[in-house]
Amino acid sequence: MAMVFLADIPPHRCRVPQLNSSAFSLDLNYSIPLQEVKGKVILSRCTRFKEQVGSATGFGNETEGCLDGWEFSKEQYISTIVTEWDLVCDDAWKAPFTVTVFFLGVVTGSILSGIISDRYGRRFIFFATMAVQTVFSILQATSTSWEMFCILYFLVGMGQIANFCAAFILGSELLVRNIRVNFALLGIPVCYAVGYTALPMFAWFIRSWRILLIALSLPGFLYIPLWWLIPESPRWLLSQGRLIEAEVIIQAAAKKNGITPPDVIFKQEACEQLMENNNKEGQQLYTWLDLVKTTNIRNITFINIIIWIVISMTYYGMSLNTPNMDGDPYLNCLVAASSEFLGYGCIWFFVRYVPRRVTLPFTMILSGTLLLLIKFIPEDLQSLSTALVIIGKTGVTGAFGFLYLYSTELFPTVVRNMALGATSMSSRVGSTVSPYIAYMGTYNKVLPYIVMGGTTVITGVLSLMLPETKGEELPEFIHQVKPIRCICVKQRTEDGQRQKGDTQVENGVNKLLL
């Protein structure tokens, strides 16, 4: 999200060497033509009048490009990567593409993170990837060219997503079930929102992109003392046959909780049996093709992929579009970041009391509708437009956080990790497109909301077809995946499915009691 400020485009015009003053003044009308942008008449950003000897003004009516570079306003920023490397006019595509490069790094990191985490452990990868993210972010601030900046940003993206995944898995495997749900739905998202909220505060005080990037990277060194506080996942240690290390961690946790642990927690023969069972289960190999093997799982997979793409596109599109909103960009970013707290809090409440197949469509349709209404808001009611944007972003934020839980419950155990990897990777399609959705706002501030709102509403309606999973036993195998819900399905079929679901819930409760 730092690119909201690092890559913002200040007001600019062609540099005219013949003029002594670089200020934006009416005298420039003789040397630079006018153009209309967002309903306002401003000096042209990419053209100037050709110099003409003998003319009263010194310039003719023919135009040319900015052959001598550009003059950028320093009213809001001392520098951005746009002003540093003149990423405007013919090179304007480079600014949004910079964010796309980051998300390409995220895609690569998503593919590698699970493999290296399973191989080398959650804790080591957690700290190693934080080091990658911190060090390469600092190196970014020393970039001497746009190409160097992009290469380093790609590596930062790889480290960022791998760090997030390692943190999510480590926390989930260390915590008991009731705490684990709060950790996933509130712990990680709220901490993300805290960092997001701090961003505009940093940017308001630091107007130079290099110093801002360093300031945002330095907190990564605060992770160093945590090396001695955060343990490895006992579950991962057991899967590797490292019983003694796992026992030490469990005994330390027991002491902190005031519990006296037994002398021997894990018996050697029990762990050997566990590893033997894991090896036997590993003999049944599942591939990506299993996600489209049957009609039911194929429908669930395709619908989830579409939902992930659209929600990711809308979420990041709205976040990156903050500079194009009317009003102060720092305040707009702060309000947008603060809305995340409300979004995650509402989803946490919905998860406890509202059916799953109602939660997702409601948040998406509501958000998309509010974004579409922005087109009909008069120019003199911009505060109302901003309010609709913030409420819409709140809904999309909640839906984004909810997707992880809902997708986990829709897919069977045998392909669940693979399915989450496939759907979350598909979301990167939406995130790589999002910078260009936001870039539309530099020319037409309503168009991004029409695109995001329309696709979100359509996808919200599509999500109504997903089956209910709240309070039901998770599917273990592919043949247990539920069919999608269509209007043409007969009522008695739905009743039969509901009865079957009730039986599964009852059996699940009995298992828990036993």
Examine the domain organization and report whether 320 and 263 are in the same domain. Answer: no
Do the domain assignments include residue 312?
Answer: yes
When pLDDT is cut at 50, 70 and 90, the band that residue 150 belongs to is very high
pLDDT at position 505, please? 39
Examine the domain organization and report whether 274 and 296 are in the same domain. Answer: no
Please state, as a whole number, how many other Cβ atoms lie within 10 Å of the Cβ of residue 304.
25
pLDDT at position 369, please? 93
Do the domain assignments include residue 94?
Answer: no
Rounded Cα distance between 178 and 176, Å, is: 6
Highest mean pLDDT pick, 4-13, 15-24, 138-147, 284-293: 138-147
pLDDT at position 38, please? 65
When pLDDT is cut at 50, 70 and 90, the band that residue 60 belongs to is low
Do the domain assignments include residue 198?
Answer: no
- Residue with the two structure tokens 């102060």: 328
pLDDT at position 508, please? 42
| Complete DSSP assignment for 427-476 | HHHHHHHHHHHHHHTTT-SSHHHHHHHHHHHHHHHHGGGSPP-TTSPPP-
When pLDDT is cut at 50, 70 and 90, the band that residue 282 belongs to is very low
Do the domain assignments include residue 79?
Answer: yes
Structure-token pair, residue 282: 């590993």
When pLDDT is cut at 50, 70 and 90, the band that residue 58 belongs to is low
Rounded Cα distance between 215 and 292, Å, is: 46
pLDDT at position 365, please? 93
Examine the domain organization and report whether 348 and 400 are in the same domain. Answer: yes
As a whole number of Å, the CA-based R_g of the chain is 27
Average pLDDT over residues 354-369: 89
Helix (H, G, I), strand (E, B) or coil at 510: helix
First to last CA, the chain: 48
Do the domain assignments include residue 408?
Answer: yes
Examine the domain organization and report whether 329 and 436 are in the same domain. Answer: yes
- Residue with the two structure tokens 């040319």: 64
Residue 506 has pLDDT above 60, yes or no: no
Examine the domain organization and report whether 296 and 324 are in the same domain. Answer: yes
C-alpha distances out from residue 395 to 322, 335, 373, Å: 16, 14, 15
* CATH classification at residue 409: 1.20.1250.20
Average pLDDT over residues 448-454: 90
Residue 242 has pLDDT above 90, yes or no: no
When pLDDT is cut at 50, 70 and 90, the band that residue 279 belongs to is low
pLDDT at position 514, please? 39
Residue 262's domain comprises: 235-282
Do the domain assignments include residue 91?
Answer: no
Higher pLDDT, 243 or 189: 189
Q: In whole numbers, what is the pLDDT of the chain averaged over residues?
A: 80
Average pLDDT over residues 116-143: 89
Do the domain assignments include residue 168?
Answer: no
Examine the domain organization and report whether 252 and 330 are in the same domain. Answer: no
Please state, as a whole number, how many other Cβ atoms lie within 10 Å of the Cβ of residue 361.
19
Percent over 90 (pLDDT), the chain:
22
pLDDT at position 504, please? 47
The residues that bridge with 37 in the sheet, in sequence order, are: 40
Which tens digits make up the pLDDT trace of 66-92? Answer: 888 888 988 889 999 999 999 988 888
Domain boundary among 85, 118, 145: 85
Higher pLDDT, 129 or 320: 129
Highest mean pLDDT pick, 49-58, 203-212, 244-253: 203-212
When pLDDT is cut at 50, 70 and 90, the band that residue 210 belongs to is very high
C-alpha distances out from residue 326 to 18, 76, 181, 332, 445, Å: 34, 15, 38, 8, 9
Examine the domain organization and report whether 305 and 372 are in the same domain. Answer: yes
Higher pLDDT, 50 or 218: 218
Examine the domain organization and report whether 410 and 336 are in the same domain. Answer: yes
Examine the domain organization and report whether 273 and 313 are in the same domain. Answer: no
Q: Cα-Cα-Cα-Cα dihedral of 139, 143, 147, 153, to 10°?
A: 30
Model pTM score: 0.76
Examine the domain organization and report whether 276 and 364 are in the same domain. Answer: no
pLDDT at position 202, please? 93
Helix (H, G, I), strand (E, B) or coil at 44: coil
Instruction: Report the interhelical angle of 329-353 vs 188-205 (nearest 10°).
Output: 170
Q: How many domains does the chain divide into?
A: 3
Examine the domain organization and report whether 299 and 252 are in the same domain. Answer: no
Domain boundary among 45, 67, 85: 85
Rounded Cα distance between 228 and 127, Å, is: 11
Examine the domain organization and report whether 422 and 468 are in the same domain. Answer: yes
pLDDT at position 232, please? 87
Do the domain assignments include residue 405?
Answer: yes
Structure-token pair, residue 17: 């060497």
Q: Which of 320-324, 466-470, 494-498 has the lowest mean pLDDT?
A: 494-498
